[in-house]
Structure 1
């Protein structure tokens, strides 16, 4: 059973929401960050970067304490307001190319422990512990875990009708996105949604494996405090068909001491290689890989063997690692090897060409994106995909809805 609960959110005052919310902190360049912090006193960036005003580097402990104090300042100054009672929210994000709609709710830590909320990515323990400490010190979270549920005609119909109501927020951002938020606050609506999700056997994490793991760790460490909010974590629940899954493409700094000619010969053992010269070619189906090397594009077609393979071995990201990155290019640790970097598939293939032509990298690979059924199959089999196998949208606005702990 997938248990969800309404929660008593903290959120921006209606007249300030477009000024308060921000993208993920790491998405900003230093110039952008300085501009927002200098000229927008309401930006949530002031909360998550409290040391900026002092222009100094501080320890994580001091930073987290500063975040907590700044968050309380925003509440005191009525930049943030607290909802009168626990509710759900319906949230729509419209970008230039896609539209996403989901439900903001608390999801159960126990469901996570019991694998009713399923995972497909590994986590780094130091990141889990660091974000757990952030939650422990600040006592709030505004970054929901993105979780998919099976498509439902009944729920889709209800969402369409709900969107006809007057929203709580409707605002646009400088990235030309439109954000709309509706309250789900009647007892009938709340109970109906809880019952609907109660009938779903399993949910699947699309994005946010570290955040959910941190919530689990915090629950175990602080459960003696008797805080019921620790039993759940903030999630954005979205239909499987409504997520957008991009690939992560790879660029590598060198050919591991191989010449171009020798490298191409080594590839021929497992791939059919077709020169595309200057054509900006990308894979059109599974088992195909694009490559940019020495000023030219190539199409690589994997030579499938008759040997039966597992779900994991059949993933394109795993194939590339097993037959190219590891044995030929000497990439062992996909997370930490400084010779490899990753480019989200939503970015143009010309980005890969440009950074290789500039000389920082020598070779690049493009992949075909994974679909949601592959993610579910990996999760159902309790397997873990290679790092950076997916880049998934939507991405949430920080400071829009806050779950207090």
Structure 2
């Protein structure tokens, strides 16, 4: 696959801890405003510009994108974001609770996305895709990197590890959530070597997180192609910001489910129907310990659900989240389309099972399900056969920070 260096915008070192922000889509408006409070240079003022406008404003309206551009240009004018002297790539290491993962920060070609050399496993929502398309088009920039993964190559990993041991990072940030973020700027020689190795040894990559950002980058490139009669394919707008991690270093947490009602069943009727599909028993477990198992919380009691996968099941049908959806959520609870249903919520594993108990105990929801995490191997296998995972099948942790490197589409 194709990668190349880019001459992007980065924070001046003294501003980097303030600029670095959580991805726009893991916080709501109120949470984004709280994180950015007292931090005028947080990239949330760009990625979630509605926090600086009337609380009643439509977050997808034109004034929001105009405000984002105003903040983005101000940060450049004030020297918060500075242009690199020459094209380069970076290494980005994240560490939390003894777990580290290191990715290559680069730009990938939108044609590789179009041709499924960069493979997807999720559908996007039109409103969210439109939102990021409008933001990228307005800013002429990718502010948030797409999280890609690939099958590990020993030669690439050895080069990367050797460089990090010999060089000092340009940023070393300990974020309030306990994640350490380190960034190295690569030498020209290593950029050349890695470009060659990815072209010869890495036939494809997989979108781990950031499907809406990737789709939006592709859409903007299409708009720019159509508007440029001299299009060559090498213009900056053909390339979008990515971080490529080897799959063996990644950690996936479960994506849990909570449903607001029992679909007109009382508790006993519901348990009887579940027992006809799964082996069910009360348990002190709150999280499953293996695939083919989930834990269900209902009215102060946890239950263990186990099952046998169907013989000759496809990669998608083997997923625990697929089995829960196909055998319980749809037929028993009436959740026909979890992407659009207002009766189901998805809770990232980082919040723990205590959050599930809280949702049920406060009667905001009636039943919750603690899932075993999907694996990177499953994600790749499903993407390889062109299948789409159920929504909210994976929660990657730690999340990439936005603002540590920005790819601009012009210049």
Structure 1 residue 392 and structure 2 residue 396: aligned? yes
Contact 2:16–2:171 (8 Å) recurs in 1: yes
262-271 or 194-203: which moved more? 262-271
SS in 1 for 2:65: helix
Contact 1:280–1:349 (8 Å) recurs in 2: no
Counterpart among 309, 321, 325 of residue 321 in structure 1:
325
1:4 Cα deviation from its structure 2 partner: 0.3
The RMSD of aligned alpha carbons is 1.9
1:27 Cα deviation from its structure 2 partner: 4.8
Contact 1:272–1:303 (8 Å) recurs in 2: no
1:69 Cα deviation from its structure 2 partner: 2.2
1:38 Cα deviation from its structure 2 partner: 4.7
CA distance in 2: counterparts of 1:23 and 1:378, whole angstroms: 28
Structure 1 residue 302 and structure 2 residue 302: aligned? no
1:176 Cα deviation from its structure 2 partner: 2.4
CA distance in 1: counterparts of 2:198 and 2:5, whole angstroms: 12
Aligned to 1:117: 118
* 1:35-66 Cα distance to aligned partner (Å, 9 max, x none): 65452333223334545555455452121122
1:125 Cα deviation from its structure 2 partner: 2.2
| 1:6-405 → structure 2 map (5 Å cutoff) | 6-25=5-24, 27=26, 33-34=32-33, 37-50=36-49, 52-53=51-52, 55=54, 57-58=56-57, 60-164=61-165, 165-186=167-188, 188-199=189-200, 200-223=202-225, 224-225=227-228, 226=231, 228-276=235-283, 279-305=284-310, 307-405=311-409
Contact 1:10–1:404 (8 Å) recurs in 2: yes
CA distance in 2: counterparts of 1:126 and 1:34, whole angstroms: 21
Contact 2:47–2:143 (8 Å) recurs in 1: no
Contact 1:149–1:204 (8 Å) recurs in 2: yes
1:168 Cα deviation from its structure 2 partner: 1.3
Contact 2:350–2:397 (8 Å) recurs in 1: no
SS in 2 for 1:347: helix
1:25 Cα deviation from its structure 2 partner: 4.1
Contact 2:296–2:367 (8 Å) recurs in 1: yes
CA distance in 2: counterparts of 1:202 and 1:68, whole angstroms: 34
How many residue pairs match? The answer is: 400
Q: Return 5+ residue gaps in structure 2 as ranges.
A: none
Contact 1:249–1:342 (8 Å) recurs in 2: yes
CA distance in 1: counterparts of 2:255 and 2:168, whole angstroms: 38
1:129 Cα deviation from its structure 2 partner: 2.1
* 1:273-323 Cα distance to aligned partner (Å, 9 max, x none): 1111xx143211111111111221111111445x43222211111111111
Quickly say closer, same or farther: Cα 1:232–1:297, change in 2 above 3 A. Answer: same
CA distance in 1: counterparts of 2:381 and 2:21, whole angstroms: 34
Q: Return 5+ residue gaps in structure 1 as ranges.
A: none
Aligned to 2:4: 5
CA distance in 2: counterparts of 1:347 and 1:394, whole angstroms: 13
* 1:188-224 Cα distance to aligned partner (Å, 9 max, x none): 2111011110021111111111111111111111113
* 1:319-363 Cα distance to aligned partner (Å, 9 max, x none): 111110000101111012111111112322122112101111111
